[in-house]
Chains A and B, each alone.
Chain A
Amino acid sequence: MNRLIRSSALTWALGYVLLGIAALAAFAVPLWYAWNVTIFSGRQEILRDDAQRLTELFRREGVAGLTGYINARVGMQIAGERTLLLTDNAYRPLAGNLAAWPRDIPDQPGMHAVMADIAGQPTHTLLVRTTLPGGYHLLVGRDLALFLPLERRFTSGLLAAVLFLFVVGVAGAILIRRQLLARVEGIRQTVSAIMQGDLRHRLPMARTGDELDTLSQTLNGMLDHIEHLIRGISNVSNSIAHDLRTPLAELRSRLEELALTRPPATETFAEIDAAVADLDRVMRIFTALLRLAEIDSGARRSGFVRVDAAAVAAEVVEFYEPAAELKGVEFSFQAAGEAAVAGDPVLLAQALSNLIDNSLKSVHEHGAISVRVACRADGAVEIAVADDGPGIADADKPKATERFFRGDASRGSPGVGLGLSIVDAVAKLHGGALQLLDNHPGLLAQMVLPLSSAPP
């Protein structure tokens, strides 16, 4: 019960019940007021008129005339009819349907609501008391009990409505709460399971498309992302371990062998040079990893300036031109005017340089590489490098930007398998994406940097 009281569903339901009651009250109070003002006072008016008319009759026709009139009227036995009583100055009844002068009626003339004995029943009655000439007393009244059922019905209707609201509200709250609680409990269990380390769990979905479902969907998306990141981290750790261990193992065996065999000086120095080369390879991987971490942290975004991607690309292309020429590769560049983005010119240059570098390594002699910078219709800037090399197998494309991933095609070539990771990270840093497409044959790698990244 305690949990029920603390439940937010119940609180809400009670809130709505109170709101319903307030709405009912807002409806009933003016009605009650209107009832009292118009009907009740109208009734008083009629009673006063009646008393007035009877007084006139008395003046014109005297005691006998009024007595006759009253007796005739009482004799008609109209339901809900007036309560009438004419007495002499000693309050002895002369005519009317009241057995005796009511005891608790005040002395002064006017309108009084009193309990009067009507046919032996004490009845709530509204009476107009008039004193006629000669000390006669006249009472004209109306049995208020006639309206009592109506009032009672109105009040009990109101109470029934309140009760109905309350019952339905609480029952609804309990039902909603039970269902909500079942789903929240499902979510809680899943989350606990995830917290205990099993990231494969996903939140249950009711497929109703309601708010809880939307929330679950968003959380599932977040879990997908976290799982991907964690798997990425463990992949990276494994890859780092593997890719750093290989040159380190080589280095170690080289040095150990030197210490053991103590070869002649020239050979020793050659081995030392090779050892330094091994170390440089390790350092290159380190530098690339640190650069990636630096990009991923997003810290570089604070230094974004307005960059003409076309100009940056032109410089990188010029930088690689001699290398392409040397390999006999047809190297072309096209840009249509300025392509402004908000970005880091050095990182953009590095990203493009990595793409060109990859293409240069993969194309055959006399192949072709084309670099293109274009502003798309939606304002996004596209930096694309297309080659006619072996490309990347479709199955490998999603993995190509993963750290240390090396496709079969590039396995024999130099490089540490971080080039495309850096391009991808740079594109993401700029709010864009790296797309790897088929160039039929070859690879079409394009960075799409959205308009939003361009400052005014």
Chain B
Amino acid sequence: MKILIVEDNERVARFVTRGLREAGHTVTHANNGRDGMFIAASEQYDVIVMDRMLPGDVDGLAIIEALRKSGNRTPILILSALNEVDERIRGLHSGGDDYLTKPFAFGELLARVDALGRRSVDRGAERTLQVGDLRMDLLSRRVTRGSRSISLQPREFKLLEYLMRHANQVVTRTMLLEAVWDYNFDPQTNVVDVHISKLRQKIELDCEPALVRTVRNAGYMMSDRE
């Protein structure tokens, strides 16, 4: 994917740029708001990573608003040291697609960038999702694996749907908390892990190949590839 990073802190920018390049992305870096605005407007990117506090007291949100006004629909991940709920809401209202608080783990950033990039590819309304022999019918809300029918609680269904929509991508626990439960706080116990393991018990019987993998220091990935 082609990714634009607008970030003035050299060290953070270098760290993110290097990480994303290693993950196979093409990265452009702008270290101030004006350049960022100019580059974003002149070239098509798959994802923009936008810092909120830029040199010269420029708020990244203003740039996002300007981009959206000019018709630019590129998914934007906002980076910010402001973690208040209101700030997060403001960020998303201004046209940002996701919000990540500094400091962050690189795994979290990568997972979110991947998820955003994917969203720009398939925004169509699928009726079924499929990973390996696991099928999910979104209309009838039926889940089958091979010929076996799997019954899921509503929340388990939502969790599985999110994992399947992001198949072959890492999803972090925070992303799951936000997307499946709408919680933006940190439950101290590993509750998400327990939900995942319970879901795995339902979709992966002993004889069946595993579909959900734990990615160390990051989260989970659903995939039918080994």
Instruction: Show the binding face of A for B, using Cβ within 8 Å.
Output: 273, 276, 279-280, 283-284, 287-288, 290-291, 294, 299-300, 303, 315, 318-320, 322-323, 325-326, 346, 349-350, 353-354, 357, 360-361, 414-415, 419
User: In the bound complex, do residue A294 and residue B191 qualify as a contact, i.e. CB atoms below 8 Å apart?
Assistant: no
User: In the bound complex, do residue B188 and residue A326 qualify as a contact, i.e. CB atoms below 8 Å apart?
Assistant: no
A276 to B83, CA, bound (A): 20
Across-interface contacts of A273 in B (CB, < 8 A): 217
Across-interface contacts of A360 in B (CB, < 8 A): 189
User: In the bound complex, do residue B191 and residue A349 qualify as a contact, i.e. CB atoms below 8 Å apart?
Assistant: no
The verdict on A322 contacting B194 (CB below 8 Å), with A287-B83, A290-B83 known, is yes
**Band of interface residues on B:** 20 to 34
User: In the bound complex, do residue B184 and residue A346 qualify as a contact, i.e. CB atoms below 8 Å apart?
Assistant: yes
For the complex formed, measure the closest distance between the CB of B201 and the CB atoms of chain A, giving whole angstroms: 10
User: In the bound complex, do residue A323 and residue B186 qualify as a contact, i.e. CB atoms below 8 Å apart?
Assistant: no
The verdict on A350 contacting B185 (CB below 8 Å), with A287-B83, A322-B194, A322-B195 known, is yes
Q: B90 near A: Cβ within 8 Å?
A: no
**What are 17 A-B residue pairs whose CB atoms fall within 8 Å in the complex?**
A288-B186, A290-B84, A291-B185, A303-B86, A318-B155, A319-B181, A319-B191, A323-B189, A325-B198, A346-B183, A349-B185, A350-B185, A353-B185, A353-B187, A354-B188, A361-B188, A414-B188
Given contacts A300-B86, A357-B188, 7 further A-B contacts (CB under 8 A): A322-B191, A322-B197, A323-B194, A349-B185, A353-B183, A353-B185, A354-B188
**Majority DSSP secondary structure for residues of B touching A:** loop
A273 to B105, CA, bound (A): 12
Q: B125 near A: Cβ within 8 Å?
A: no
Q: B85 near A: Cβ within 8 Å?
A: yes
A280 to B108, CA, bound (A): 13
For the complex formed, measure the closest distance between the CB of A281 and the CB atoms of chain B, giving whole angstroms: 11
CB contacts under 8 Å to A, within B174-205, are: 181-191, 194-195, 197-198
User: In the bound complex, do residue B185 and residue A346 qualify as a contact, i.e. CB atoms below 8 Å apart?
Assistant: yes
A288 to B222, CA, bound (A): 31
The residue on B at minimum CB distance from A284 is: B186
Across-interface contacts of A361 in B (CB, < 8 A): 188-189
The 9 closest A-B pairs by CB, nearest first: A350-B185, A322-B194, A323-B194, A322-B198, A323-B191, A357-B188, A294-B84, A326-B194, A357-B189
Across-interface contacts of B184 in A (CB, < 8 A): 346
For the complex formed, measure the closest distance between the CB of B133 and the CB atoms of chain A, giving whole angstroms: 25
A414 to B195, CA, bound (A): 20
For the complex formed, measure the closest distance between the CB of A274 and the CB atoms of chain B, giving whole angstroms: 12
Across-interface contacts of A299 in B (CB, < 8 A): 84, 86
Across-interface contacts of B105 in A (CB, < 8 A): 276, 280
For the complex formed, measure the closest distance between the CB of B78 and the CB atoms of chain A, giving whole angstroms: 17
Q: B124 near A: Cβ within 8 Å?
A: no
A279 to B103, CA, bound (A): 10
A318 to B25, CA, bound (A): 39
The residue on A at minimum CB distance from B103 is: A283
Across-interface contacts of B190 in A (CB, < 8 A): 323
Which residue of B189, B197, B198, B217 has the most chain A CB atoms within 10 A of its CB atom?
A: B189
Which residue of B181, B184, B185, B188 has the most chain A CB atoms within 10 A of its CB atom?
A: B188
A326 to B191, CA, bound (A): 10
User: In the bound complex, do residue B187 and residue A357 qualify as a contact, i.e. CB atoms below 8 Å apart?
Assistant: yes
A322 to B198, CA, bound (A): 7
Name the one of B85, B188, B191, B198 contacting A346, with C-beta atoms under 8 angstroms. B85
Across-interface contacts of B85 in A (CB, < 8 A): 294, 300, 303, 346
For the complex formed, measure the closest distance between the CB of B150 and the CB atoms of chain A, giving whole angstroms: 16
Across-interface contacts of B182 in A (CB, < 8 A): 346
A415 to B190, CA, bound (A): 12
Across-interface contacts of B217 in A (CB, < 8 A): 273, 276
Across-interface contacts of A288 in B (CB, < 8 A): 186
Across-interface contacts of B84 in A (CB, < 8 A): 290, 294, 299
CB contacts under 8 Å to A, within B97-154, are: 103, 105
A287 to B184, CA, bound (A): 11
A300 to B189, CA, bound (A): 25
A350 to B217, CA, bound (A): 24
When each residue 60-96 of chain B gets 1 if its CB lies under 8 Å from chain A and 0 otherwise, what string results?
0000000000000000000000011110000000000
User: In the bound complex, do residue B188 and residue A419 qualify as a contact, i.e. CB atoms below 8 Å apart?
Assistant: yes
For the complex formed, measure the closest distance between the CB of A417 and the CB atoms of chain B, giving whole angstroms: 11
The residue on A at minimum CB distance from B83 is: A290
For the complex formed, measure the closest distance between the CB of B119 and the CB atoms of chain A, giving whole angstroms: 24
A346 to B186, CA, bound (A): 12
For the complex formed, measure the closest distance between the CB of A365 and the CB atoms of chain B, giving whole angstroms: 15
For the complex formed, measure the closest distance between the CB of B62 and the CB atoms of chain A, giving whole angstroms: 22
A86 to B182, CA, bound (A): 122
Across-interface contacts of A318 in B (CB, < 8 A): 155
A353 to B86, CA, bound (A): 21
The residue on A at minimum CB distance from B182 is: A346
When each residue 161-184 of chain B gets 1 if its CB lies under 8 Å from chain A and 0 otherwise, what string results?
000000000000000000001111
Across-interface contacts of A357 in B (CB, < 8 A): 187-189
A415 to B186, CA, bound (A): 11
Across-interface contacts of A276 in B (CB, < 8 A): 105, 217
